[in-house]
Amino acid sequence: MGSRSAWISLDLPDGTLPVHPGGETSHHATIAFCGSEVSDDQFAAIVNRAQEAAAQIAGPVTATIEGVAVFDPGEGSNGKAVVYAPIAGPGIDQLRDALADLDGSGRSEYTPHVTLAFVEPGGPLPQSLARTEVAFTHLSAHLKGAATVQIPFGGSR
């Protein structure tokens, strides 16, 4: 099969965050964007690394999502700015540290985040998100066009 985008995330239940008109409807907290040219073999290695990272964390992972910010256009954004809400919490930092070397975003500094929308540079932004507390029981590895692999925290498979 051909190459596709891959990422590691913490998936939010539908309805947790408001949807910006024309924005993302399925929200997740991106821990690492692993690139847009990922083969099946590379994805298997990504899943293995995500399993290793998840095994080191006793769940649930709790975090706070709040505010709004913008990444300049980058790989995978089709020339559009990425409007996001930062996500923070001790487990988030631990996951990011464990998986940072997989990041293929091309950004020198990366912020774990929830993508809200892709907009033309300088375009209208969603309203700043009110503080939202969230909890996650598993980490997810995604390969666009394929099944998502959900990995429970604490080492169980």
- % pLDDT > 90, the chain: 43
pLDDT at 157 over 60: no
> 9 burial class (0-12, 13-18, 19+ CB within 10 angstroms)?
buried
- Write down the domain spans for the chain: 4-63+86-117+134-152
pLDDT at residue 100, rounded to an integer: 85
- Tell me the pLDDT band of 111, cut-offs 50, 70 and 90: confident
Pick the closest to residue 15 from 23, 24, 26 (CA basis).
Answer: 26
pLDDT tens-place string over residues 75-109: 667 788 888 999 999 889 899 889 988 876 655 56
